[in-house]
Amino acid sequence: MIFKVLAIDKQTKARCGELQLANYTIPTPVFMPVGTQGTIKTLTPRHIKETNAKIILCNAYHLCLRPGEKIIMQLGGLHKFMGWDGAIITDSGGYQVFSLADLTKVSNGGVEFQSPIDGTRLFLTPERMTQIQNDIGADIIMAFDECVPYPCEQDRASIAVKRTLDWAERCLTAHRNKQQTLFGIVQGSVFKELRIECAKKLAEMNFEGYAIGGLSVGEGAFLMNEVLDYTVDLLPQYRPRYLMGVGFPLDILNAIERGIDMFDCVLPTRNGRNGCAFTSTGKIKILNSQYKEDSQPLDITCTCYTCQNFTRAYLRHLFLASEILGLVLMSLHNICYFQNLMQQVRASIIRGEFKDFKTDFLLKQPEL
């Protein structure tokens, strides 16, 4: 992997770059749509490609439960299995340690999961999760980590940081496919000394990329930005920086301003399936009665298939009639919105005008 910083904004730490993987080149900052189980809900790979997305995220934990990494390997690897010819990043399952806490038992050795599908117990170690990701063939893979909830006592967060660092070393040792890029993950909840310790020690391990995890779990925007303020600069300058699970446009812009390069979130598709569209003038909740006879597209500035062919009135009709097409069209538009936002951000950084772009964006879309 090669990461090139092409431009840095004049007034902020925002940077525009290029992530060169073995088979793909990804412009940054980049937003990665989420296809947890090898599919982005309601959308085909062709749909995603038409949005100009270059990389998507899948989840190795969920894929090892169903259909299992052996089947994915037998059928040619994850790209071929899901029919996606772009880049793929896989999460290792560290977030599921947090989100499925009632079904897990964590120890220094690893995590015992009880499958939410059939109750089967599965013990996953850093070595096992690295092997699974090596086997299914993602382009970027994540170290196994322990994500704690918020609020969390400092002693509990300290134990998780020690495990995360130990597991990071074990993942590095277990990593076999050197065409894949392995990222380390910074944990530490909202405790400054823990975040600093974790970031510094991970940087010493010389990962090819670095993620900041354990945020957007209830701590709020102020604390998230505070963590980023003292964490980002501790990570190597010429390595990509990835803020995991953050998707609100304002949070993304705040993080880019602090030097973050990569983002993922289910927000665009989840909101789309629930009838909420992101537009250049703010959110549209398509079930509102004001759109009953509205002949406008969702967003007059958008060139996506949805906006070029369908009215707000038609989209509202689809949701009222419980037609699947409504979910497809709204999700497609939202993915396009986020890809267009990243394209505009990159252009503004190259011009040295990111701060002005952000100010203008918030004037037009203050609730985002």
Write out the catalytic residue numbers: 91, 264
Task: Give CA–CA dist 84/88, Å, rounded.
Answer: 9
8 Å CB contact between 8 and 349: yes
Helical spans, DSSP H, in 153-292: 154-174, 192-204, 220-231, 249-257, 267-273
* Burial (0-12, 13-18, 19+ Cβ within 10 Å), 363: exposed
| Half-sphere exposure (Cβ direction) of 313: Cα atoms closer than 13 Å | 5
Burial (Cβ within 10 Å: 0-12, 13-18, ≥19) of residue 210: buried
CB 72 within 8 A of CB 135: yes
Write the burial class of residue 139 (CB in 10 Å: 0-12 exposed, 13-18 middle, 19+ buried): buried
Three-class SS of residue 57?
Answer: strand
